[in-house]
Amino acid sequence: MRHTSWIGFVLAMIPAAPGRAGDALSDYQSLTGVGPLGQIIGESDETGFAALYRIHISDPAAFSVSTVNGASSGLDTRLYFFTLAGTGIASNDDQNSGEVRSALPLGNLLFTGLKAGDYLLGISTFDTAPYGSNQFLIFPDVTSGVNGPALYDTFAFWADYPESAFGSYQIDLTGASLVTAAKLNVSTTPSSGASGEGAVNITGSGFPSATMTPGDVVVAMGMSRGGEPVAVTVASSVRLLLGTSYRVQFQIPAGLVPGTYFVAINDDASGEANFLGANCSQLNVS
């Protein structure tokens, strides 16, 4: 068993900066921005041969993924498609008997009927595959066809050493776009409140235009920016202010020690209103 990652960056209407794509379910790279997502470019080596990317599927009927291109020449790739929770949707090893690069072609029934929203796209080199928490392969170990999951378990880890060459890769996509990243105000409103008693608001811009359900908006509070959350709750209300600006209200969880917290929000529920917070809002808890 070996856990690894690939260096990658995205080519789209608005390019993103280079980043490291994680290989665990909790360590994916979010490809954020505005506009279509046409390509993901990267390079694999002997220390990195599997990766996960969070992407937005804007048009499931037009969705396709392929590594059959000149930039991926010489690689024996595999493609895997998951929900954000890690449930398998579709996979492909070889596009056909004469082509070891992989593709999830336009119009496949495994994904054309999905809801628009955020999903995880995995890529590896042969013979590395995703396993579930039950220690079994999530997808059937076959080289032909586009396949659904063999076992309905969530992604847990990659296993098996690669047997193919390393090198540069290019993932071509259609029907996909960059993940929405909302920019939050520096502080909540009000900027302070009592543990277990106060209701505060997070305000920001760049939210998705689709309807957001308060119970789907997760609010995580940590002691440092990007740190592990010490308390998690959900929004009590979501209010449109103007354009892409929204106000998200939540109750301060009980049991928090007094201090300064950094509040992050996201919506990972199935549906097109998915988003990430591009930053955190600061809250002083008394």
- Of the candidate CATH numbers 3.20.20.70, 3.40.50.1110, 3.40.50.1100, 2.60.40.10, the domain formed by 181-285 belongs to 2.60.40.10
Between CA 277 and CA 213 the distance in angstroms is 16
**Sequence spans of domains, the chain:** 6-177, 181-285
Between CA 246 and CA 201 the distance in angstroms is 10
DSSP 8-state secondary structure symbol assigned to residue 279: S
Q: Which helix (H) or strand (E) holds 259?
A: strand 259-267
What is the CATH architecture assignment of 6-177?
A: Sandwich (2.60)
pLDDT per residue rounded down to tens, the chain (286 residues): 333 334 444 444 333 333 345 556 767 889 999 899 999 988 776 666 788 999 999 999 999 999 999 888 888 899 999 999 999 999 999 898 888 899 999 999 999 999 999 999 999 988 889 999 888 999 998 888 999 999 778 999 888 766 767 778 999 999 999 999 999 999 999 999 999 998 999 999 999 988 899 999 999 999 998 888 999 999 999 999 999 999 999 999 999 999 999 999 999 998 779 999 999 999 999 9
